[in-house]
Amino acid sequence: MPFNSFEDYPLTWKINKERLKLPLYLSIADALEEDIKDGILSPNTKLPPQRELADFLDINLSTISKAFKICEMKGLLYAIVGRGTFVASNLSAPSALTDSSAQSEYIDFSQIRPYYQFNDEVVEVARSIMLRPNAYRLFEYNSISDNTRYQTAGQKWLKRFHMEAPLENIQVTSGTQNALVIALLSFFKAGDKIAIDSYSYPNFIGLAKLLHIQLIAVENDECGMVPEALELSCKTNGIKGIYLVPSCGNPTAIAMPQERRDKIAEIIKKQNLILIEDDTYAFLAPEMIPISCYVPNQYIYISGTSKALCAGLRVAFITFPDQLRSTILRSMQNIDLKTPLLNLEIVRSLIEGKTAGDLVSQRIKLSKKRNAIYRKYFQPSLHANPLSYFQWISLPKGCNGYNFELQAKKAGLLLFCSDRFAVGPPQERSAIRISTCSVQNNTDLETGLQALQTLRSENKLPDDMNTFIV
């Protein structure tokens, strides 16, 4: 009997041969996906070489290759040339920590809760709307004919961020995430490739995985996505689209400078990419011109209101060029035909009055104070948005992000490590994202930052070591 037929053959992952069914490559892919999602295979685990796994199972190498490829397309695996295949690192979504009531004993830096203390002003506007004689109409179905007044409000909102668009090219959606669903289902199919920052918005990453759209991580520097790396990736990977959060990248807080936006726009035009510009944080960088303005025939521009006005209303505006209109409207009829009228009317009233401007100003003012406190303990990166709701802190060499999360929780702090936002292979150093807008008050912020500073210093790698012993 050959050595590789023994059941105790040492492999980092094995499939029980009884689980094998025809076609073999699909059953192997299904088993691998199940073990990853069940946590049997942890993030960044190196899988056995394909040839060894094929020998162990006594099957053709191409069968293993096809199974691995399926899982890679689903975003479950990533490959590094010369090193092997690994389990993707961002499979544990930040939504794992959602019950704030159950975690009241912690200083919560994890979720982005955009200054809930200003919601009282929204309540007053909502109350005045509910006292109108025809308020009962707000609980009926919305119809296409009702939308002009909301498109007009959207037009006014978009002008704040230098986006000029005719009413017919503006639509209202049930929040930014819904707009992203519309964008992806309208123009991308399973197997298509989208360029993205190496760390990015986890809900977009999860959505792409659900739709089996491949995300190709592009090198970043302190200004955001590197143009040369994007162009190279387009040539080598067959990129169809690009997803960017340029005004305040989530999680890195990078505000892409105008010069970098110009260069990225040139590549988008040259490579004929579809740009999905998620500009939810544009109100924190009002001087910046959207990249969409420089690619007038190739963009889907999304401006959510949750971070600027009220998180719970779930309203966003999406705009696009003439040639994309029919496709987007067709998708909306099947996905988001009826955004709740009450939410729309509240947002319209906020925008048409002065309350929207007041809410933005108040949030900016508080962000300035919070970030000034942050700078007492940590140095922000060069192009971090100075008004950001969150901060990106690199960890010492050799410090594992998930381990640091656990240490922080023991110290009474909730936060998210960089692995939760990663696309593709892990970076040389881990980092953490902390949300400064979600902490109850400045006193708690100071306390949390002091504890975090201490914890980070305790994780410094000794001079005589190359890596921590885990």
Tens digit of each residue's pLDDT (9 = 90 or more) over 66-85? 999 888 877 788 877 778 88
Does this chain's domain 99-118+357-458 share its CATH topology with 127-353? Answer: no
Summarised one tens digit per residue, pLDDT across range 428-457 is 789 999 999 999 899 999 999 999 999 999
Helix (H, G, I), strand (E, B) or coil at 388: coil
Q: How much is the pLDDT for 75?
A: 76
Q: Which residues pair with 431 in a beta bridge?
A: 394
Place of tokens 């490579």: 271
Contact 90, 420 (CB under 8 A): yes
Domain borders along the chain are: 3-87, 99-118+357-458, 127-353
Closest CA to 404 of 420, 386, 417, 385: 417
Mean pLDDT of 259-288: 97
> With 60 as the cut, is the pLDDT of residue 303 above it?
yes
Please report the pLDDT score of residue 258 as a whole number.
96
Asked which of 55-64, 185-194, 222-231, 354-363 is least confident by mean pLDDT, the reply is 55-64
Provide the Cα torsion 91, 395, 390, 294; round to 10°: -80
State both tokens at 223. 């200004």
Cut 0.85: pTM above it: no
- Per residue in 345-362, is it b (16+ CB within 10 Å) or e — as a string? bbbbbbbeeebbeebbee
Mean pLDDT value of segment 152-177:
96
Give me the pLDDT at residue 141, please.
77
pLDDT of residue 306: 95
Q: Which amino acid is at 145?
A: S
Structure tokens at 67: 């199974």
Report pLDDT for 4: 46
The predicted structure's pLDDT at residue 99: 47
Alpha carbon distances (Å) from 212 to 28, 76, 207, 273:
18, 10, 9, 19
Q: What is the pLDDT of residue 157?
A: 97
CB 422 within 8 A of CB 86: no
How many beta carbons lie within 10 A of that of residue 379, not counting itself?
Answer: 9
- Tell me the average pLDDT across 408-415: 95
**What's the mean per-residue pLDDT of the chain?**
89
Taking the CB of residue 372, how many other CB atoms lie within 10 A of it?
Answer: 11
Inform me whether the pLDDT recorded for 89 exceeds 80: no
Average pLDDT over residues 391-399: 91
- In this predicted structure, the answer to whether residue 87 has a pLDDT above a threshold of 70 is yes
Residues 6+ positions from 51 with CB-CB distance below 8 Å: 61, 64
Share of the chain above pLDDT 70, in %: 91
Residue for token digits 């123009």?
187
Cβ–Cβ under 8 Å, residues 254 and 222: yes
Spatial distance between the Cα atoms of 260 and 327, rounded to a whole number of angstroms? 30
Question: Above 80 in pLDDT, residue 2?
Answer: no
The count of C-alpha atoms lying within 13 angstroms of the C-alpha of 462, restricted to the half-sphere facing its C-beta, is: 4
259-272: buried (b, 16+ CB within 10 Å) or exposed (e) per residue? ebbebbbebbeebe
Read out DSSP for 29-74? Answer: HHHHHHHHHTTSS-TTPBPPPHHHHHHHHT--HHHHHHHHHHHHHT
- pLDDT band for position 461 (50/70/90)? low
Architecture per CATH, domain 99-118+357-458, reads as Alpha-Beta Complex (3.90)
Cβ 399 vs Cβ 430: under 8 Å? yes
CB-CB contact of 20 with 28 (8 Å): yes
Mean pLDDT within 317-324: 97
- Higher per-residue pLDDT: 50 or 88: 50
Confidence of residue 464 (pLDDT cuts 50, 70, 90): very low
Helix (H) or strand (E) holding 412: none
* Residue 195 in tokens: 């360029």
Q: How confident is the model at residue 349 (pLDDT cuts 50, 70, 90)?
A: very high
Average pLDDT over residues 168-191: 95
Class of the 127-353 domain?
alpha beta
* Tokens representing residue 29 in the block: 């892919």
pLDDT, tens digit, 9 for 90 and up, residues 124-145: 999 999 999 989 888 887 654 5
Position 3 scores a pLDDT of 44
3-87: what CATH class?
mainly alpha
Widest CA span of the chain, in angstroms? 85
pLDDT at 91 over 70: no
Least confident of 37-51, 104-118, 387-401: 37-51
